Amino acid sequence: MTHLDVQARLKALRVEMEKHQLDAWVLPSSDPHNSEYMPLRWKVRQFLSGFTASVSTMVVLKDAAYVWADGRYWLQAEQELAGTDIQIVYLGRPDVLPWNQWLAEQLPEGARLGFYGATMMVKAVADIEEKLKSKRISVQTEHDLVDAVWTDRPDFPMAPVFAHAMAYAGESAKDKLNRVRDQMRKLDAQAHVLNALDDIGYLLNLRGTDVPTSPYFHAYLVVTQQSAILYAHLPRFSAELVQNLKEQGVELKPYDIFFEDLKALAGQAVLVDPAQSNLLTFKQLRSFNCRLIEKRAPSIAMKAVKNSVELDNWKNCFVRDGVAMVQFLNWFYKHVGAGQLTERMVSDQIDGERAKLNLFRGLSFTTIPAYGPNAAMMHYGLKDGTDTPVKPEGFFLLDSGGQYDDGTTDITRTFVCGPCTDEQKRHYTLVLKGMLRLSAAIFMQGTRGLQLDILARQALWNEGVNYACGTGHGVGYFNNVHEGPHSIGVGLIDQAIEPGMVVTNEPGVYLPGRYGIRIENILLCKEHCATEHGKFYQFEPLTLCPIDTRVVQKDLLGVEETASLNAYHARVFEKLSPYLQGEELQFLEHACRAI
């Protein structure tokens, strides 16, 4: 997209704003289901601005436009928005307000604010509702102005929906729905309305391909004590799948009648999650005189704690994924310095290795192959027409993962391509040190991610270094690669880390224009011991892949950290070596040697 395209599209949007007498229009990174990854139809902020980050919010005024981007995307925003009139708001810096609070402060008395209500979650508006009322700011939500601007806007994806087999899910849809109903009874809710696609897919043991990296399909779900109604595009369901849903107590209805069909809940007590539900859903329920119970959806906690079948399958998945990583690593190190090697070649190679694997369904996110300064952008991505050569010096950061019937993977390794500076070696070692400290944590029941985060950062903080993102996120099981409600970071997320939860461990260093370093494993929380002081938990690394140790400054690692690294590599060799032979087995043995 050229800067002229951006200017033309913004001009067209402002024409529509003028028709509706609006002073501001908001474009969130969201579809009607609050999805992190979306089909092209819903990438309206990207369409208007050219900014391709997966998460950000754009605000268009009559004479200005702004994009709110957090620390993961600052460098990317500076590059992709350069030359446009769109201003970057650096979310996370001191005294920088979120977009909703900023708008509530900046808009004048009596202003008219607009956004498409189906793409705005309730909580974003609820957080500023009183401020809007006090300034008599009206909110218009009925119209999707982008429709008039995006004349060739893509339609909904229509690939077939498919079942996630019981052999992998470990629990039937009927049993999961009954667990939801148990929670509904505790809240005196007669019905529960769900917008979130990952929750719907989890509860019904269904998956789709609407987004290449997230195995879900567009749908709504309404659960009562007597029924469950799935609103989706009917041609996507085979007769066999329709029958299977019927046997699980699920009725299928057309996606497009969902909002009108909510009138069947008139006057009832309805459980809705304000963080997951779009504003139009709320408005419809209120128009039908429903009593809204605004609580977290029960399915969020349910899917976060993996069952034994899921975990057993997932561990097999990590072995296959680890073998693919080793085969890739052997290829990579042979090609660094031996001829022409580029980021795109690296991306194609690791994606190709995963595509060969049994039960492979696609990538879990778009692979991030970043050499040198590019790795300083935490969510760097390949752009059409560009391909950075990989030199035999410095670092190469690769963040990648796969979706499989038996799990989801997400792994980052930073590879040594050749000579490194003393500063690079020190930073690499400090990142590894923090990663090892968090992996080895033993913590009490009730511990939040905020309390664990310091273990990953302390060694870097001692040197005056920090990273502007979280340390870890939950991971779905053949579902979204980023999954709540738990996480590890400097912000308070009031959710304890519990046995059965998985979370990434990915500290890093990002120096703009110079280099980036990140090392990431997925960890499983499990029980450690119980004493008179309470229950204690620990982590088990699930990811199986060697960590490059050639530039590690051993004097910076403590005795326990060195032992932890050697134990991890011994485990990687034990689990992966039976599936490798010849040159690849020799590579694995060398890569897993003790330091």
Q: What is the dihedral of CA 126, 128, 132, 135, to 10 degrees?
A: 150
CB contact at 8 A, 575 and 322: yes
Q: Which residue type sits at 364?
A: S
- Strands 534-541 vs 521-531: parallel, antiparallel or unpaired: antiparallel
How far is CA 52 from each of CA 45, 457, 574, rounded to the nearest angstrom?
A: 8, 29, 41
Q: Which residues contact 495 (CB under 8 A, 6 or more apart)?
A: 448, 449, 484, 485, 486, 487
* Rg of the chain (C-alpha set): 25
- Give the C-alpha separation, 172 to 149, whole Å: 44
Q: Which residue type sits at 82?
A: A
- Strands 521-531 vs 112-114: parallel, antiparallel or unpaired: unpaired
Which residue carries 């529509």 as its tokens?
Answer: 16
For the beta carbon of residue 152, count every other beta carbon within 10 angstroms. 4
Joined tokens for residue 455 = 């273990």
442 sits in which H/E element: strand 442-444
Which residue carries 């070649």 as its tokens?
Answer: 345
Phi and psi at residue 538, to the nearest 5°:
-145, 175
Question: Where does residue 336 fall: left (phi above 0), alpha (psi -120 to 50 degrees), or beta otherwise?
Answer: beta
- Give the C-alpha separation, 106 to 223, whole Å: 41
What is residue 241's DSSP assignment? Answer: H
CB contact at 8 A, 255 and 219: yes
CA 262 to chain centre: 30
Which residue carries 């339609």 as its tokens?
Answer: 155
For the beta carbon of residue 442, count every other beta carbon within 10 angstroms. 11
**Which burial class, exposed, middle or buried, applies to 103 when counting CB atoms under 10 A from its CB (0-12, 13-18, 19+)?**
buried
pLDDT of residue 142: 87
- Give the C-alpha separation, 311 to 352, whole Å: 26
CB contact at 8 A, 541 and 521: yes
Buried-exposed string 505-516: b where 16+ CB fall within 10 A, e elsewhere: bbbbbbeeebbb
Sign of CA dihedral 452, 456, 461, 467: negative
What's the length of the chain? Answer: 595
Q: Which residues pair with 27 in a beta bridge?
A: 58
CA 527 to chain centre: 26
Q: Which residues contact 15 (CB under 8 A, 6 or more apart)?
A: none
Joined tokens for residue 12 = 């067209």
Phi and psi at residue 485, to the nearest 5°:
-90, -5
Joined tokens for residue 266 = 């008139």
Q: What is the 3-state secondary structure (H, E, C) of 179-230?
A: HHHHHHHHCCCCEEEECCHHHHHHHHCEECCCECCECCCCEEEEEECCCEEE
Joined tokens for residue 186 = 């505790």
Q: Which residues contact 502 (CB under 8 A, 6 or more apart)?
A: 306, 314, 474, 475, 522, 523, 524, 525, 542
Phi and psi at residue 544, to the nearest 5°:
-125, 100
- Give the C-alpha separation, 462 to 430, whole Å: 10
Beta strands (DSSP E) in 86-161 are 86-90, 112-114, 138-140
Beta strands (DSSP E) in 29-175 are 57-61, 65-69, 86-90, 112-114, 138-140, 162-163
- Give the C-alpha separation, 232 to 230, whole Å: 6
Q: Which residues contact 20 (CB under 8 A, 6 or more apart)?
A: 112, 114, 140, 143, 145
**Which burial class, exposed, middle or buried, applies to 533 when counting CB atoms under 10 A from its CB (0-12, 13-18, 19+)?**
exposed
Verdict on whether the full-model pTM lies above 0.95: no
Phi and psi at residue 191, to the nearest 5°:
-145, 160
Joined tokens for residue 371 = 């050499």
Phi and psi at residue 556, to the nearest 5°:
-85, -15
Q: In the chain, what are the domains? A: 3-149 (3.40.350.10), 162-300 (3.40.350.10), 305-591 (3.90.230.10)
Concatenate the DSSP letters of all residues of 458-511 into one string: HHHHTTT---SS-SEEE--SSS-SSEEEEEESSS----B--TT-EEEE--EEEE
What is the chain's pLDDT, residue by residue, as a tens digit (595 residues)? Answer: 677 789 999 999 999 999 999 999 999 988 999 888 888 999 999 999 999 988 899 999 999 999 999 988 898 999 999 989 899 999 989 999 999 899 999 999 999 999 999 998 888 888 888 888 899 999 999 899 999 999 999 999 999 999 999 999 999 999 999 999 999 999 999 999 999 999 999 999 999 999 889 999 999 999 999 999 999 999 999 999 999 999 999 999 999 999 999 999 999 999 999 989 999 999 999 999 999 999 999 999 999 999 999 999 999 999 999 999 999 999 999 999 887 899 999 999 999 999 999 999 999 999 999 999 999 998 888 887 789 999 999 999 999 999 999 999 999 999 999 999 999 999 999 999 999 999 999 999 999 999 999 999 999 999 999 999 999 999 999 999 999 999 999 988 999 999 999 999 999 999 999 999 999 999 999 999 999 999 999 999 999 999 999 999 999 999 999 999 999 999 999 999 999 999 999 999 999 999 9
